[in-house]
Amino acid sequence: MATVSVRIDKNLALQAEREARIQNRSNAKQIEYWAKIGKAISSKLSIADLFAVSIVDDTRILDNSSMDDPFRQNIVMKAGNHEAKADPLPERARDLLPA
């Protein structure tokens, strides 16, 4: 895979380094992971939704497509980890998970 060098804010790089250690990833893979998540959700959520997700420690992705079960959990995210709650996950929820 071809790579390029990118300049990022030092604080973001330090946060990525800390998270990479926790997740057993390289710094570059951690930043790629964050970029993939951002790319996946940026087209699915509004700016207000993105802001709300960024300020909470516990996020739940719900499926409200059924009147019989309007608040069915698809994914629960806590402290940077995720847990699938639906089987199978709807495609729109799968797009939010790392590849």
| Between 79 and 8, residue with greater pLDDT | 8
Question: pLDDT band for position 14 (50/70/90)?
Answer: very high
Q: What is the pLDDT of residue 92?
A: 77
Distances (CA, A) of 74 to 51, 58, 63: 20, 14, 6
3-state secondary structure of 65: coil
Comparing 8-17, 21-30, 82-91, the range with the smallest average pLDDT is 82-91
Q: What is the pLDDT of residue 99?
A: 59
Q: What is the pLDDT of residue 93?
A: 79
pTM of structure: 0.47
pLDDT above 90 for 80 = no
